[in-house]
Structure 1
Amino acid sequence: MRPVEGGLRERHKAQRRHRILDATRELLRESPESVISAERIARRAGVAPATVYNLIGPRDKIWEALAADFMAALERRLAAPGTVDPRRDAREVVKSTVRLFVGDPLVSRRMVREWEAGGLAFHHSPLTRLSRAMADARTRGLLRADVDTDALATVVATSCLGALHQWVAALIDDDRFLARCLFALDVAFAAAAAAPCRDSFLTPLRTRDPV
């Protein structure tokens, strides 16, 4: 019976942790700039403050836990296998990431600001998926054989991070956030395109607002 009891205990811990994170997000949606304390979260989640400390930790760990939960949700969105069109796969990575941020803007903006203030970093990243799609594009002859696809993906991710910071600061709206990220991706594909694909990759850029 011990393994069953242990498994049940872990499930209950996971459920309480889920309630705590949900309660945190609810409080942020109601008052995005408010101080988020363990006591407020505990009251909303229906648990003791000690439970918040035991399962999550102090306030800086709350932001870390939200970030980890965010990245887990993104991993689930990106879990689908790739298609025969790696360029489309790369665009889906960008779209899924942006849509997750803009889907809960009050929480996302505060979470990103707290990451920056606390020096936190993503434990996982869509960069891995983006690199994989670009490597596949090189293998299929869409990109030049001499292209370092990891470096190319990093350049795109850096551009997208800049767009994210602009969105967090409310300097651009949701649509412009997505457009800038996709533009960075399309520029990278055009710059690294194999000769047979160069014109088709360049054509959309010639007629598009560089946002």
Structure 2
Amino acid sequence: MSEASPRERIVDAALQLLSEGGQDAVSTRAVSAAAGVQPPTIYRLFGDKDGLLDAIALQGFADYLKSKTEAPPSADPVDDLRRGWDQHVELGLANPALYLLMNTRAARSPAMLAAEEILADRVNRVAEAGRLRVPESLAASLIQAAGAGTTLSLINAPNPTLSTTAREAVLAAITTDPPTARTPGPASAATTLRAALPELNALTDNEKALMREWLDRITSQTR
């Protein structure tokens, strides 16, 4: 096994300090001592402390996802949203200092952007299945806001029923039941077509933009 690089040692040391003492414990002096490097090495590799904090948040999030050995998408995309919600809450409760770092940075961290991309993909699958009752961007924003609020509340005060109750309330607000033999309503049909717009080669970019505006209007007014 090859020896860890200075960058790897710094990130590992910073993550350990974060876990043990929170963000205040991640000082340049403490990290350099724990990693066995000189302070200038941190600035050379990460630019400044903000760059280091972004790097450890992204690495911590990536390590968590890897540890979960995420299963492939299931047959029910709404169940995948449930699983994603539960993993989000679990991350916060298992690594509260890391979670707070990801959510309290002034700028949107790379870790949060990675999490948003995963969520957007899952929401898109629900839309393509014709089971989304609101626009994709609104659905993702509701899940993100409610999930973060629930997780932060649980970090401060455990409640065995809060996560499930909040999760199901959000899913009920943004999704529909599985399609039946009857014809779906206009909002569901519009949302499904909206999700497929990027793949429609028969329309020009301007036509797609106009179609997107029409479909968003149908979705927002027909519920």
Tell me the number of residue pairs that the alignment of Structure 1 and Structure 2 aligns: 177
Secondary structure of residue in 2 paired with 1:66: helix
In structure 2, what is the equivalent of residue 6 of structure 1?
Answer: none
TM-superposed CA distance for 1:52, in Å, is: 1.4
Letter in 2 for 1:155: L
TM, length-normalised to structure 2: 0.63
Supply the distance in 2 between the matched residues of 1:20 and 1:181 (Cα, whole angstroms). 38
In structure 1, what is the equivalent of residue 189 of structure 2?
Answer: none
Q: Any stretches of 5+ residues in structure 1 without a counterpart?
A: 1-10, 198-211
Identity of aligned residues (%): 21
Letter in 2 for 1:135: N
TM, length-normalised to structure 1: 0.66
Instruction: Please tell me whether residue 179 in structure 1 is matched to residue 164 in structure 2.
Output: yes
Tell me: CA distance 1:174–1:28, structure 2 relative to 1, closer, same or farther (3 Å): farther
Secondary structure of residue in 2 paired with 1:153: helix
Alignment of 1:136-155 (within 5 A): 136-141=125-130, 143=131, 147-155=134-142
TM-superposed CA distance for 1:81, in Å, is: 2.9
Could you tell me whether the CA contact under 8 Å between 1:160 and 1:180 is conserved in 2? no
TM-superposed CA distance for 1:114, in Å, is: 4.8
Could you tell me whether the CA contact under 8 Å between 1:98 and 1:177 is conserved in 2? no
In structure 2, what is the equivalent of residue 133 of structure 1?
Answer: 122
Aligned-residue CA RMSD (Å): 3.2
TM-superposed CA distance for 1:182, in Å, is: 2.2
Specify which of 89, 96, 102 is matched with residue 80 of structure 2. 89
Specify which of 9, 24, 46 is matched with residue 19 of structure 1. 9
Tell me: CA distance 1:17–1:81, structure 2 relative to 1, closer, same or farther (3 Å): same
Tell me: CA distance 1:167–1:82, structure 2 relative to 1, closer, same or farther (3 Å): same
CA shift digits 1:75-117 (9 cap, x unpaired): 64586431211111111221222222222224433x24651xx
Alignment of 1:47-126 (within 5 A): 47-73=37-63, 76=66, 77=68, 80-109=71-100, 111-112=101-102, 114-115=104-105, 119-123=106-110, 124-126=113-115
TM-superposed CA distance for 1:38, in Å, is: 1.1
CA shift digits 1:100-151 (9 cap, x unpaired): 2222224433x24651xxx12133243333333333234334x15x642332
Letter in 2 for 1:164: T
Supply the distance in 2 between the matched residues of 1:70 and 1:33 (Cα, whole angstroms). 13
Could you tell me whether the CA contact under 8 Å between 2:60 and 2:98 is conserved in 1? no
